[in-house]
């Protein structure tokens, strides 16, 4: 039976910037599992424009043990920094 694990982290992207963020679950990843990250802005300004995901790369951490990684390039077109949550999900088979 599959098991699901969730965790969340807080991040900030500066005003008018494009930045790369790297996410991974940690060690002991299995070959038959699913790992993904979603971005949830935590705006303090109601007139915020959405963050833009410019690029998503799925790769492996080059080392041992096996660690799937997701590298997101995000763009913030707002004139202020935006805090966001990165919500991680991992599903084991």
Instruction: Give the pLDDT band of residue 85 (cuts 50, 70, 90).
Output: very high
DSSP state for residue 51 in the 8-state scheme = P
Domain count, the chain: 1
Output the six-digit token pair for 60. 């492996």
Output the six-digit token pair for 12. 């900030």
Look at residue 79 and tell me whether its pLDDT is greater than 70: yes
Lowest average pLDDT, out of 40-44, 52-56, 74-78, goes to 40-44
Look at residue 74 and tell me whether its pLDDT is greater than 90: yes
| Strand 68-76 relative to strand 82-92, pairing | unpaired
**46: helix, strand or coil:** coil
Q: Distance (Å, rounded) from C-alpha 56 to C-alpha 83?
A: 19
Output the six-digit token pair for 57. 């790369």
Any idea which residue has 């963050």 for tokens? 51
Mean pLDDT on 84-89: 94
Range of the domain at 45: 3-92
What does the pLDDT read at residue 3? Answer: 87
């Amino acid at each position: 039976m599959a098991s699901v694990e969730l965790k969340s982290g807080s991040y900030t992207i500066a005003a008018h910037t494009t930045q790369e963020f790297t996410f991974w679950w940690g060690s002991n990843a299995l070959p038959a599992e699913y790992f993904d990250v979603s971005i949830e802005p935590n705006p303090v300004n109601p007139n915020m424009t959405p963050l833009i995901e410019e690029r998503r790369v799925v790769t492996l951490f080059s080392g041992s043990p096996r660690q799937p990684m997701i590298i997101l390039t995000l763009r913030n077109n707002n004139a202020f920094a935006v805090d966001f949550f990165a919500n991680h999900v991992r599903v084991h088979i």
